[in-house]
A = this chain, B = another copy of it.
Amino acid sequence: MRLRVRQPVALEHASRLLNHGPVVLVSAAHQGRANVMTAAWCMALDFRPPRFAVVLAQETFTRELVDASGALVLQVPPCRMLEIVDGVGTTTGREVDKWSRFGLTRTEGTAGPAPLVGGCLAWLECRVLPEPGIATSYDLFVVEAVAAWADDEAFANGRWRMPLPPELRSLHHLSGGSYLVDGEVVSVAR
């Protein structure tokens, strides 16, 4: 297996990393504490600037770190991380160190305090755009990507290299512990 290489993604292509509605891992850090959670409710909002919306429940530790730091990373895990994705989404960083529990690696963010979770397909380093009304009413956050990265085996030259090898396909949450994996690619001539 060759080494994977994390390459920068042009910000104008960043929305494509989440267009297909995959589950994401959300990581955040503040004053030496870092956490990661799973979010099925995340989507792109705009191309330029590349903005995204994500739901962060009020009681989560990640939300506390995001509120304190104003930053987070959205990253797309491949289906070989299924057990991690589900485990990270059903435990709380207030009780367990998810990094050691799930054997997660992380590297420092390049543009903010939130770390990048190892083994993912793509990473969006984001700053939170302050919208306290919708955060309070709906746990809804609007963020703007300030740096984007992708595993060059999965995404290159502004496009996903679909269809991806089976182990690199992304996950889509159904309910409980069930997920769909990316299937075939279909295209319309425009």
Chain B nearest Cβ from A31, distance in angstroms? 30
Interchain CB contact (< 8 A) of A162 among B16, B20, B180, B189: B180
Q: Does the CB pair B86–A188 fall under 8 Å? A: yes
**Residues of A in contact, count (CB < 8 Å):** 52
- Residue A6 interfacial (CB < 8 Å): no
- Residue A103 interfacial (CB < 8 Å): no
Chain B nearest Cβ from A132, distance in angstroms? 11
Q: Does the CB pair A183–B183 fall under 8 Å? A: yes
Q: Does the CB pair A43–B20 fall under 8 Å? A: no
Interchain CB contact (< 8 A) of A188 among B21, B82, B186: B82
Interchain CB contact (< 8 A) of A171 among B138, B181, B186: B186
Chain B nearest Cβ from A129, distance in angstroms? 9
| Residues of chain B with a CB closer than 8 A to A83's CB | 188
Chain B nearest Cβ from A59, distance in angstroms? 14
8 examples of A-B residue contacts, CB within 8 angstroms: A43-B55, A171-B186, A177-B187, A177-B189, A180-B183, A180-B184, A182-B183, A183-B183
